[in-house]
Structure 1
Amino acid sequence: MSLQPNPIPDPNSIPNEEVEKLKSNRMWVDSLLRIIKSKTSIIGLCIIVILLLTAIFAPLIATHSITDQNIVNRYQPPSAEHFLGTDELGRDIFSRIVFGTRISIQIGVIAVGISLIIGVTLGCVAGFFGRWIDLIIMRFIDIMMAFPSILLAIALVAVLGGSLTNAMIAVGIVGIPQFARIVRSAVLSVKETEYVEAARAIGARNGRILMQHVLPNCLAPIIVQTTLGVGTAILDAAGLSFLGLGAQAPAPEWGAMLSDGRAALQNAPWVVGFPGIAIFLVVLGFNLFGDGLRDALDPRLKK
């Protein structure tokens, strides 16, 4: 009895859906390699990793309590005891910035989570079903985008009340249009592909087609927008806290620290300088990493 070698499958005999899966897997591998080779994305990733480690090990990194006040030591310049100086109440600025990273991560995750869930849902429904559903949803999105984002956030917080939770909700709502428009555009291009038409031909329901065939192939722009949105959310929330509409005392939120120290800007610039640098570095890190992801996941930018 002779053993027959397994025949090599004919590429034309492979279903279109399987071909698309192979192409998709190869795209993600190529994108990962481009991310690793991108200096911009690596720098941004390093900043994000440092932020996460600082938030996790904040009790070990901080050198003082963030609530203990010492009026005698108010507005002390940076020294060996207080690395970044003290504020108007004698509190250690370095320790407050360290614990403030936890608030920044919380803002980014919750606010972008709200934008992601609602925006992706609206974008998928509008792009997939089209017609009057698309018309209603996108006109609502256009109305939201007609207002400046920070003014819309201020209006929402004014209605809900000034607090960190309401600020995160407001920032999350403001970010919905960006996700909705990006996802709708991606869904419009994906739903006309051959494997989606094949799924319709075999009787697959719209919900299954949307969740199993359309949405997974729209992940690249969603991931990029999510990364960029975190930096924007942190910046917007800091602006609301600076205006007194976000985090309330004694929470060590960086925007609130800027607001509390602005009266001493000339005499004690470190009170506002170091929280401002922290906001700058975090937003820069997420933007650099987001730009690197966009360059890596956009097939039009392949070299």
Structure 2
Amino acid sequence: MAIAETAPAVTAPAAEAPRRAWAQRLGVIVPAGLVALVALACFLGPLVLPIPQPTGGNIVDAYLPSFSAGHLLGTDPNGNDILARILYGGRNSLTVAIAVNVIGMAIGGSFGALSAYFGGTTDMLIMRVFDVLIAFPSLVLILAVAQSLGPSRINTILALGFFSIPAMARIARAATLSLCEQPFMAAAKLCGTPTRRMLLRHIAPNVAPQLLTFSILGMGLIIVIEGALSFLGLGIAPPAPSWGNMISEGQASLSATPMLVIWPSLMLFVTVLAFNLLGDALRSRWSSR
């Protein structure tokens, strides 16, 4: 009697492709939506929600619990609304992260692209300067620069922005070197395309996506460092709110009112996680192309 053999089920590659594409899209959509939600809450929330200002609270209203009348997340020791301080603190943290990345992309990206395009002595001089900066322990130097400049939002941006330039320069240089080997770049040079047009028309649009992906990955790290500086009193100075200085102030009464630390810590965690997931998803999409 013949034994019927069952052929193993084979999943066709054509059926797998839509699933992979949908998984990739979902990997971008979910963290991007979370980032957009946090940004909208921090930048537009105080304008549309009936919440008080983050400073100038009444000491009589100090230590109100969560879900109190007029104070959804309660109040801090100074009677300030915690929800208002979280939203305004998130606005400060996101503003710092965006400004630092803009500085790094504009200055570091430009120098990195110019270094790779011209090569030779120009490349050696520019990259040796950046190599020296990268060789130093960045966190120690950031603390030193922040200490010397003093605690404020603009000084935090300058301190972090200065040290974001070398990393952006290396990313732009590597991308430009790879781009210069492409046939269309050689054809553009043979046609006598001016240097300015080569940089703006051919190099910048192709290098920008890689810089943007790297900057999104770095957003979470910058927010964490800004929070650490504010926690140490070297970042955004009270009474201006920041997630870092809210955690620092809340630790004094952690055992009695843990929510003073939990709420800003939770917002910091969710925001950093969203940026990291979004950056990883974008990097995977670009590397697969």
Contact persistence 2:24–2:281 (CA under 8 A): no
Contact persistence 1:238–1:246 (CA under 8 A): yes
Q: Within 2, Cα distance between the matches of 1:34 and 1:56?
A: 33
Shift in Å, 1:71? 2.7
1:66 and 2:46 matched: no
Match for residue 263 of structure 2 among 270, 274, 278? 274
Q: TM-score, normalised by structure 1?
A: 0.82
Q: Within 2, Cα distance between the matches of 1:76 and 1:147?
A: 46
Q: Within 1, Cα distance between the matches of 2:203 and 2:53?
A: 50
Name whichever of 254-263 and 211-220 sits farther off: 211-220
Name whichever of 189-198 and 130-139 sits farther off: 130-139
Residues 83-123 of structure 1: CA deviation (Å, up to 9, x unaligned): 22221212121121122222122112211111111110111
1:48 and 2:25 matched: no
Match for residue 39 of structure 1 among 21, 26, 32? 26
Contact persistence 1:97–1:275 (CA under 8 A): yes
Contact persistence 1:74–1:88 (CA under 8 A): yes
Contact persistence 1:65–1:95 (CA under 8 A): yes
Match for residue 84 of structure 2 among 95, 115, 130? 95
Aligned twin of 1:198: 187
RMSD: 2.1
1:146 and 2:135 matched: yes
Q: Note closer, same or farther for the CA distance 1:248–1:46 as it changes in structure 2 (3 Å cut).
A: same
Unaligned regions of 5+ residues in structure 1, if any? 1-32
* Count of residue correspondences: 269
Q: Within 2, Cα distance between the matches of 1:161 and 1:105?
A: 20
Q: TM-score, normalised by structure 2?
A: 0.86
Contact persistence 2:171–2:211 (CA under 8 A): yes
Higher relative contact order (CA 8 A, sep 6+): 1
Q: Within 2, Cα distance between the matches of 1:161 and 1:65?
A: 25
Shift in Å, 1:60? 2.3
The letter for the 1-side match of 2:46 is A
Q: Within 2, Cα distance between the matches of 1:217 and 1:95?
A: 41
Contact persistence 1:175–1:229 (CA under 8 A): no
Q: Within 1, Cα distance between the matches of 2:22 and 2:166?
A: 27
Match for residue 175 of structure 2 among 182, 186, 196? 186
The sequence identity of aligned pairs, in percent, is: 36
